[in-house]
Structures are given as C-alpha cells and as structure tokens.
C-alpha cells in the first residue's frame, strides 16, 4: 500500500510502458474468421461475407468462412456436436473476426446469435475471443439501418474483442448483387473495401500485443481458481 493509493496492491500494479508493446509479432498471414447470419439459398449476408473474404485475401490475410447450416440451437445439443466443435476450433485458430448479420424484425438474426452463444467466454484457461479484432457488417431488405450493427458492437465488447471503428450497412441488399452473387460496384462496395482494409491493419497492429493489452489489475488480484470460477459463472 501507498499513502496516496491505500487500496492498491503495489506488487500487482504494472504501469503501462512502451517497451511492453514492442514484442515481436508472428510472421504468418493474419487469420480471419467470417460468420454470417442466414441459411437461405440466396443469403445476402453470405454473399457479402464471401465478398469480404475475397478482399481479405487480397490484403494478405487468410480467411475462413463458417457455414452455420446444421449448427444446433444453444443448449439443444452437447458441446461435442461436430458443428459446435468446428466453430470453436475456427475461433481458436483466428486472430480476428468478421460478423455479418441480416437485420430481421429490427435485430440480428437468431442464426447469427446462436453462433455467438456457442462460443464460451472461456475454454479452460483460454478465452477464445479475448483480444481478437472484429469488423461488423449488416444487410437489410429495406432502408438504411444500423440496429444489427449496434447489437453486434455490444456483443463484441461482451466477448472482449477490439472492434474496429468502421462498419458496413448495405440497405436493399437484393439490388446490390448480380445474378452470380457478386457485389456490384457502388459506394456500399467501397465501404466494404475500407472495412476489410482497416481490419487487416488493426490485426497487424495488435498481433503479439493482445496478452499485454488485456492483462488487468483486478484479475491479477484473483487467484487462478477464483478467476476460473467467476468467468465460468459469467458464461452460464
């Protein structure tokens, strides 16, 4: 304790320093997982996600898309269900994520939310999403809206992710794709380019630094057992 800060344990206080943020970064391509929120045969959230994956690859990232078809509802199947395991393995593999949901009845879809609900806040001592970067996109059939985006931004904070400032909302999505599913040239397309470029930049900026950035004084005060109990309780 110090007279000025009597509630602080000085042995656990770690003042931030530039040196701590100068660790070497891995050299492999940024690994980005993309999730979308519709199982329709012509799903515009899937088409937009596929367009985003092409851009990510052009920017030097490795992009993988999870197909939510066949994923059971949360708590309606055991955790060893093949689709649940596939999703969780992809989340652990990734360094950043793209979430893309349609707006349905003024909100993100159940198809999309189910995917997030199958991702636990912790897997043993590992927090699958903590410190990863996140980009957000939505599609809608009507006028411009940001309802799904705003909900996903809250979700990203809850999952302890670094959500980039830029985002994409494509209104009247049925007008923005051609017969073979490619996005037409437009200001909407240019915004998707901006978002994916920004995501890769932030992922490169943060890689190798995330463990330090999410290291918290309050959690250092807890024992490992106490921390595990609290995190597991919060994920129920």
Query: 223 falls in which pLDDT band (50, 70, 90)?
Result: low
Pairwise CA distance, residues 23 & 85, whole Å? 32
| DSSP 8-state assignment for residue 23 | P
Q: Residue 20 domain-assigned?
A: no
pLDDT value of residue 217: 86
Pairwise CA distance, residues 185 & 137, whole Å? 17
Pairwise CA distance, residues 100 & 37, whole Å? 6
Q: Residue 157 domain-assigned?
A: yes
- Where helices occur in the chain by DSSP H, the ranges are 44-58, 82-93, 110-117, 147-158, 187-206, 210-213, 217-221, 224-234
What integer is the mean pLDDT of 45-59?
A: 97
The answer on pLDDT for 118 being more than 90 is yes
Pairwise CA distance, residues 37 & 27, whole Å? 32
Q: Residue 15 domain-assigned?
A: no
pLDDT value of residue 196: 98
Range of the domain at 142: 28-234
Pairwise CA distance, residues 190 & 2, whole Å? 54
Q: Residue 189 domain-assigned?
A: yes
Pairwise CA distance, residues 139 & 100, whole Å? 8
Most confidently modeled of 8-12, 15-19, 74-78?
Answer: 74-78
Q: Residue 217 domain-assigned?
A: yes
Q: Residue 190 domain-assigned?
A: yes
What integer is the mean pLDDT of 156-170?
A: 94
pLDDT value of residue 189: 96
Helix (H/G/I), strand (E/B), else coil: 15: coil
Q: Are 125 and 228 in contact (CB under 8 A)?
A: yes
Q: Token pair 């050299």 is at which residue?
A: 27
Query: 231 falls in which pLDDT band (50, 70, 90)?
Result: low
Q: Residue 14 domain-assigned?
A: no
Q: Residue 198 domain-assigned?
A: yes
Q: Which of 8-12, 77-81, 135-139, 226-230 is the least confident region? A: 226-230
pLDDT value of residue 233: 64
Which CATH number does the domain housing residue 158 bear?
Answer: 3.40.50.360
- The alpha carbon of 113 is separated from its chain's Cα centroid by a whole number of angstroms, namely 12
Q: How many domains does the chain have?
A: 1
Pairwise CA distance, residues 91 & 69, whole Å? 17
Convert the pLDDT of each residue in 11-21 to its tens digit.
888 888 888 88
Query: 228 falls in which pLDDT band (50, 70, 90)?
Result: low
Q: Which two tokens stand for residue 184?
A: 């037409």
- Number of Cβ within 10 Å of residue 215's Cβ equals 13
């Amino acid at each position: 304790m110090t007279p000025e800060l009597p509630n602080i344990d000085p042995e656990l206080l770690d003042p931030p320093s530039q040196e701590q943020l100068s660790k070497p970064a891995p050299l492999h391509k940024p690994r980005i997982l993309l999730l979308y929120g519709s199982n329709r045969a012509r799903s515009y959230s899937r088409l937009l996600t596929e367009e985003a994956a092409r851009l990510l690859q052009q920017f030097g990232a490795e992009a993988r898309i999870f197909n939510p078809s066949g994923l059971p509802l949360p708590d309606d199947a055991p955790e060893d269900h093949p689709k649940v395991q596939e999703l969780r393995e992809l989340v652990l593999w990734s360094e950043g994520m793209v979430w893309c949901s349609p707006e349905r009845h003024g909100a993100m879809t159940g198809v999309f939310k189910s995917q997030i609900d199958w991702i636990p806040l912790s897997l043993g001592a590992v927090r699958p999403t903590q410190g990863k970067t996140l980009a957000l996109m939505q599609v809608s059939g009507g006028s411009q809206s940001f309802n799904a985006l705003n909900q996903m931004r809250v979700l990203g904070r809850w999952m302890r992710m670094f959500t980039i400032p830029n985002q994409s909302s494509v209104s009247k999505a049925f007008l923005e794709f051609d017969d073979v599913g490619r996005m037409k040239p437009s200001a909407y397309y240019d915004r998707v380019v901006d978002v994916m470029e920004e995501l890769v930049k932030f992922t490169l900026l943060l890689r190798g630094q995330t463990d330090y950035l999410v290291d918290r004084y309050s959690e250092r005060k807890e024992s490992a057992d106490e921390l595990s109990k609290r995190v597991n309780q919060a994920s129920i």
